[in-house]
A and B are shown apart, each in its own frame.
Chain A
Amino acid sequence: DAKTTQPPSMDCAEGRAANLPCNHSTISGNEYVYWYRQIHSQGPQYIIHGLKNNETNEMASLIITEDRKSSTLILPHATLRDTAVYYCIVRVQNNAGNMLTFGGGTRLMVKP
Chain B
Amino acid sequence: NAGVTQTPKFRVLKTGQSMTLLCAQDMNHEYMYWYRQDPGMGLRLIHYSVGEGTTAKGEVPDGYNVSRLKKQNFLLGLESAAPSQTSVYFCASRETVNQETQYFGPGTRLLVL
> A residues engaging B (CB < 8 A)?
32, 34, 41-46, 49, 87, 91, 93-97, 99-105
Contacts and interface: CB of A to CB of B under 8 A. Distances in A.
A96 B35 contact: no
B98 A104 contact: no
B58 A43 contact: no
B25 to A, nearest CB: 12
Q: Which 5 A-B pairs have the closest CB atoms?
A: A102-B42, A43-B104, A99-B45, A46-B101, A96-B50
Given A97-B48, A105-B42, 17 more contacts: A43-B104, A43-B105, A43-B106, A43-B107, A44-B92, A44-B104, A46-B103, A94-B97, A96-B50, A99-B33, A99-B45, A99-B59, A100-B35, A100-B45, A100-B102, A101-B43, A102-B42
Contact of B90 (A32, A44, A46, A96): A44
Interface string B60-88: 00000000000000000000000000000
Interface in B23-54: 31, 33, 35, 42-45, 48, 50
